[in-house]
Amino acid sequence: MREWMGSLGARIFLAFALLISMSLAITYFNVVKDVERFHLAHTEDSLTQKARMLRPFIRQLLEEGKDLQPWVLAMGKPSGVRITVILPGGKVAADSEHDPATMESHWSRPEVQMALKRGLGMSQRYSTTLGRKLLYAAVPVKDMEGRLLGVLRVAYPLAPVKEALHPLFRRLLLENLLLVLLALSLALLFSRYVSSQLKTVADCTQAMAQGDLTTRVPETGVRELKILARSLNSMAASLQELFKAREDERQKMNLLLSSMPDLVVVTDRKGTILFANQAFFRLFGKEEKLWRALRTPRLAELFTRVWEEKKVKEEVSTPRGTFEVTAIEMVPGKEALLLFHDVEERKRLEKMKTDFVANVSHELKTPLTVVKGYLETLEMAKSPEEREAFIKKMEKHIQRLISLVSDLLLLSSLEEGDTLYSRAPVDMEAILEKTAQWAEQASRDKGLTFSFQKRGTPRPIIGSPYLLEQLLINLLDNAIKYTPQGKVTLSVDYRGEEVSINVEDTGIGIPHDKQDRVFERFYRVDPSRSRESGGTGLGLSIVKHIVGFHQGKLMLKSREGEGTSITVTIPLES
């Protein structure tokens, strides 16, 4: 209530209430005065008619010299008026309500003087004789020759006139009060309606000001409020589109910065971090000051120089690594942008490249050297049996060389994202049967037991048939090579929208500290054993890339001396 009293609606209501009350009050008093004047004029006319009706009788009585008092008394009560006869000079000859002998001279009375002058005299005044206010009407009484015989005066008390009007005035006052109440009720309803409409507009506007630009003002009410609501809604929609566009730009920028491998930081001149991308936070944590995050004096020196040189580029070592830092002054004297490029990663890649070239050179050189040696020995061989033995050994190393080159070409194409391997529906059952037959024969040749298990309903896979076959061959080949005795098991499980392929062996296993590296190129747990078995060190790396090509998952479980289990999960539609 207190809140509403201070509102515009309350002010409108009070203005309406004051205007309505004053208007009806003025109307009431004007009507009362008009009614009183009307009744007074009617009474004056009635008294005038009665005076003129009684005048012939008074004239006759005065001409005959008879006593007027009995006649006046007899006529006063039936007529309902006071009758007074005044002789020239002012002596009261007769009065219907008072003893004329005790009455003073009435010659100076206003109505008497007016009657003598104009022929009719009217007045309202207080009667000292009767002690009440009366309305007087007086007419002169003359004989046939025009001589003045006296003045006839009739009077009527005003109190009954006003009392007769009191019920009318009370009813009029009650009707006015009812009108006031009705008008005030309508004014209150209207003011509350306008106030509620304006409050709705104010609430919506406040919500917009606080940032909720989805708020809309209802376009209801009077025409002006509809126009205001429509304008506010149009403004909110425009601002919403503008903010959305800016938010989209900000999100794009944040996404771009967040996806950058380089670290991006914006600081003020005091070193307070104003913005940093996720790469920076992941590496150095969320700190308020740049110095606390990096903890290196070298950076402080670079940070001081950027305000003078505008752009500084230098290599900085931090507890988290070595970075090539590019500092640029963004806002002169206020803000600077720092880009951290991890040079350790670059060095690591360069080392990997060097190691790869060295490994490839070594892997190629070894079989070539062996073949060259056998060729030289072949020239000195005497018997056909010796030559045949040397040729078979050369064929073995040449085959290893061919396998190495093939694996390198396959791995290179997978790493480059070669479009040579297109995706199409693959009959996985045919590939599984083919590779299972090969693995069973290879296991039998080595004295191992091979088992092939299938669960679920076979379904086609969207992928590359060549790569899926290479995946199975590499997994089974590894299992057979590194299992001196025991068994190798191939399990396939079609479940839901994916297929799970598991190759398990009872071989030598992989030490726990080396399991993270077995999928690297040319990595061998036991190099001497790998060379004996003809391994290139690329098999599991190829498997990893084929699984990635099909958007699958790869999981390794192994215990040294007990065996290894590798599970590949590939979605049916990759």
On whether residue 567 sits in a domain, the answer given is yes
Q: Are residues 329 and 355 in the same domain?
A: no
Higher pLDDT, 572 or 9: 572
Domain count within the chain: 4
The pLDDT assigned to 452 comes to: 92
Is 258 in contact with 277 (CB distance < 8 Å)? Answer: yes
Q: Tell me: the pLDDT tens digits for 303-333?
A: 778 888 888 887 777 777 777 888 888 888 8
Q: Tell me: the pLDDT tens digits for 386-426?
A: 667 767 766 666 666 665 566 566 656 666 665 566 778 88
Picking from 146, 181, 210, the residue at the C-terminal end of a domain is: 210
Alpha-helix residue ranges (DSSP H) falling in 381-460? 384-416, 428-446
Q: Are residues 156 and 30 in the same domain?
A: yes
Q: Are residues 148 and 97 in the same domain?
A: yes
Q: Are residues 267 and 338 in the same domain?
A: yes
Picking from 285, 312, 345, the residue at the C-terminal end of a domain is: 345
d(CA 570, CA 43): 117
The pLDDT assigned to 3 comes to: 56
Q: Tell me: the pLDDT tens digits for 253-273?
A: 777 766 777 778 788 888 788
Burial 510-549 (b: 16+ CB within 10 A, else e): beeeebeebbebbbbbeeeebbeeebbbbbbbbbbbbbeb
On whether residue 227 sits in a domain, the answer given is no
Q: Tell me: the pLDDT tens digits for 106-158?
A: 898 898 999 999 999 999 888 777 677 888 899 999 988 888 999 999 988 87
Q: Tell me: the pLDDT tens digits for 162-172?
A: 666 677 667 77
d(CA 68, CA 96): 10
Non-local (6+) Cβ contacts of 188 within 8 A are 13
Q: Are residues 439 and 541 in the same domain?
A: yes
Q: Are residues 165 and 311 in the same domain?
A: no
Picking from 176, 210, 244, the residue at the C-terminal end of a domain is: 210
Mean pLDDT for the chain overall? 78
**Side chain identity at residue 233, one-letter code:** N
pTM over 0.95: no
On whether residue 549 sits in a domain, the answer given is yes
d(CA 408, CA 420): 15
d(CA 374, CA 386): 11
Three-state DSSP at 211 gives coil
- Per-residue tokens: 239: 């601002």
Q: What is the CATH number of the domain that holds 26?
A: 3.30.450.20
Q: Tell me: the pLDDT tens digits for 51-91?
A: 888 889 889 888 888 888 898 888 887 777 889 999 998 89
On whether residue 245 sits in a domain, the answer given is no
**Displacement of CA 470 from its chain's centroid (Å):** 54
On whether residue 237 sits in a domain, the answer given is no
Res. 524 pLDDT band, cuts 50 70 90: low
Higher pLDDT, 120 or 14: 120
Higher pLDDT, 487 or 525: 487
**Displacement of CA 202 from its chain's centroid (Å):** 17
Longest dimension (CA), the chain: 203
Q: What is the CATH number of the domain that holds 495?
A: 3.30.565.10
**What separation in angstroms does the CA of 572 have from each of 12, 497, 551?**
73, 6, 10
Alpha-helix residue ranges (DSSP H) falling in 417-487? 428-446, 465-481
User: What is the mean pLDDT of the segment spanning 209-235?
Assistant: 78
Which of 553, 573, 555, 552 is closest to 564 using CA atoms? 555
- Per-residue tokens: 479: 């299992």
Q: Tell me: the pLDDT tens digits for 448-505?
A: 999 999 988 888 888 888 888 888 888 888 889 889 899 999 999 988 888 999 999 9
Is 230 in contact with 309 (CB distance < 8 Å)? Answer: no
On whether residue 239 sits in a domain, the answer given is no
Alpha-helix residue ranges (DSSP H) falling in 210-222? none
On whether residue 94 sits in a domain, the answer given is yes
Non-local (6+) Cβ contacts of 261 within 8 A are 279, 342, 345
Q: For 15-29, 282-296, 364-378, which range has the lowest pLDDT when averaged over its residues?
A: 364-378
Q: Are residues 59 and 160 in the same domain?
A: yes
Q: Are residues 55 and 198 in the same domain?
A: yes
The pLDDT assigned to 114 comes to: 92
The pLDDT assigned to 418 comes to: 52
Q: Are residues 380 and 460 in the same domain?
A: no
Q: Are residues 331 and 465 in the same domain?
A: no
User: What is the mean pLDDT of the segment spanning 35-39?
Assistant: 77
User: What is the mean pLDDT of the segment spanning 541-569?
Assistant: 87
Domain hosting residue 118, numbered range: 1-210
**Side chain identity at residue 393, one-letter code:** K
Res. 530 pLDDT band, cuts 50 70 90: very low
d(CA 310, CA 327): 8
d(CA 131, CA 201): 69
Alpha-helix residue ranges (DSSP H) falling in 153-222? 158-209
On whether residue 218 sits in a domain, the answer given is no
Is 408 in contact with 360 (CB distance < 8 Å)? Answer: yes
Q: Are residues 432 and 543 in the same domain?
A: yes
